[in-house]
Amino acid sequence: MKLVHLIIAMASLNMAYATNEIRNCAPDQESRIRSAIQESYISMNTIMDDIDHTIETRSRELPKHVVKKLAKAKYMLKCAEIRTDYLDFDCDAGISEGAFMQVQPIVGNEVKVDGNYLPYAGDKFLVGTIIHEATHKCGTNDANYFYQTRTKPRSNWYSGWHNTASTYDYWSIKGFCIPEIDC
């Protein structure tokens, strides 16, 4: 229970210092985005706790390369947590067809939002998508879309699961698991 209170306090602290600008969004859209930003902090911290617990309790049974990927995943989430503070959202920025949210990897802070789809996006999906986009600011790619294609996180020939943004939205929406081990 103390951990839950700590996470809520951290999320409140992040809110006090966050500089998120939300442009061209209706008031209800802005409210949903701001709420999802705060929920994303809680989700990221929960996943980082799950990673820590897994490393502490299972590192002897897991292959070393998996433990290294878990450590890298925690680093990505920590980076995404920091970058989330500075993301700006624009509901009228022009977005690629079929995308719900979109960012330029690494550079800039703007997240383009499909304002027409926003009312239909579930809360968990919205939180997961913010985390997904924030991890792009830390160097992840779009090698796969696990949740959207109803597949489980995994590596492919050109990208490990820890470097794929959809691993993080999958964990946020579906819960933590170790890709290629127990996902």
Angle CA 56–59–62, to nearest 5: 145
Radius of gyration of the chain, Cα coordinates, nearest whole angstrom = 16
Q: Which pLDDT value is given to residue 8?
A: 45
pTM, whole model, 2 decimals? 0.88
**Selected residue with higher pLDDT from 7 and 124:** 124
CATH number of 2-173: 3.40.390.10
Q: Which pLDDT value is given to residue 17?
A: 55
Tell me how far CA of residue 38 lies from CA of 32, 59, 85, 94, 179, in angstroms: 10, 31, 10, 25, 26
CB within 8 Å of 62: residues ≥ 6 apart: 54, 70, 178, 181
pLDDT per position as a tens digit, 66-108: 999 999 999 999 999 999 999 999 999 788 888 899 999 888 9
CB 156 within 8 A of CB 143: yes
**Does position 2 have pLDDT exceeding 90, yes or no?**
no
Tell me how far CA of residue 75 lies from CA of 61, 79, 106, 113, 116, in angstroms: 22, 6, 15, 26, 33
pLDDT per position as a tens digit, 19-69: 899 999 999 999 999 999 999 999 999 999 999 999 999 999 999 999 999
Q: b vs e for 136-148, b when ≥16 Cβ sit within 10 Å of the residue's Cβ?
A: bbbebeebbebbb
pLDDT per position as a tens digit, 163-172: 999 999 999 9
